[in-house]
């Protein structure tokens, strides 16, 4: 497989995902080939300046792990006054998002096919994001795998540096145990304020679309928990 269809990442002992190429469709492959220069950002390019990337000065929203990109695309279309950046390690998801964005003419969107921690460390300027989103990350529900969960104190400390003052960190999960874990991590972290009362969860904000994944979970009896924390 061509290197342009493979995620960029640094070797590290513990990851929050399993690296797999997956089956990329012809339309997804073609989208990355034809529209990659317009939509895809590269880890190796290093630190970015959002004004140069988007050719304007606007609030920037970062989503970590956008899956197939349906909800991220909806948000970019619904909030044209903001610029959106998505990070994903699986090529089919990046290809699908780029393909659909190109078809709809969405221009306030960019994609990293890379490890999120690497992008945060090497590419994102401090205090440059108005919102960070982590929706339905892998819960790694077996206890021996809890160390693989992406929401850990070390990551939250990194994200705090990237958020502007009063910026918003928004997480959502349909696993109760993971929601409790997220809340515990956040309540122990200085510099964030729970937008619900301490120890409580928030209602789904209007800007987060309901996803197919979410509806499927609800049919199985899963309850979705939203956690919104303001950088203070």
Residues with catalytic function: 138
For 36-56, letters b (16+ CB in 10 Å) and e give beebbbebeeeebebeeebee
Residue bearing tokens 């994903």: 88
d(CA 156, CA 143): 21
Other Cβ atoms within 10 Å of 91 Cβ, number: 23
What is the separation of C-alpha 92 from the centre of its chain, rounded to a whole number of angstroms? 16
Q: Residue 105: left (phi > 0), alpha (psi -120 to 50), or beta?
A: left
């Amino acid at each position: 497989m061509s290197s342009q269809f493979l995620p960029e990442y640094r070797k590290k002992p513990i990851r929050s995902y399993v690296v797999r190429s997956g089956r990329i469709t012809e339309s997804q492959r073609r989208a990355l080939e034809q529209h990659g220069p317009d939509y895809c950002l590269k880890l190796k390019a290093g630190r970015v300046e959002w004004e140069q990337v988007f050719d304007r000065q606007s609030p920037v929203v970062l989503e970590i792990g956008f899956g197939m990109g349906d909800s991220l695309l909806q948000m970019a279309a619904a909030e044209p006054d903001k610029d959106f950046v998505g990070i994903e390690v699986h090529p089919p998801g990046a290809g699908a998002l780029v393909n659909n964005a190109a078809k709809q003419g969405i221009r306030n969107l960019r994609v990293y096919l890379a490890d999120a921690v690497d992008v945060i460390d090497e590419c994102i300027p401090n205090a440059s994001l108005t919102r960070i989103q982590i929706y339905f990350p892998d819960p790694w529900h077996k206890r021996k795998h809890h160390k693989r969960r992406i929401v850990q104190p070390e990551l939250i400390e990194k994200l705090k540096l990237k958020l502007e003052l009063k910026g918003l960190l928004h997480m959502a999960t349909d696993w109760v145990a993971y929601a409790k874990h997220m809340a515990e991590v956040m309540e122990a972290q200085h510099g964030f304020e729970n937008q619900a009362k301490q120890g409580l969860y928030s209602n789904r904000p209007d800007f987060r679309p309901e996803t197919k994944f979410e509806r499927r979970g609800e049919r199985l009896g899963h309850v979705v928990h939203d956690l919104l924390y303001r950088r203070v």
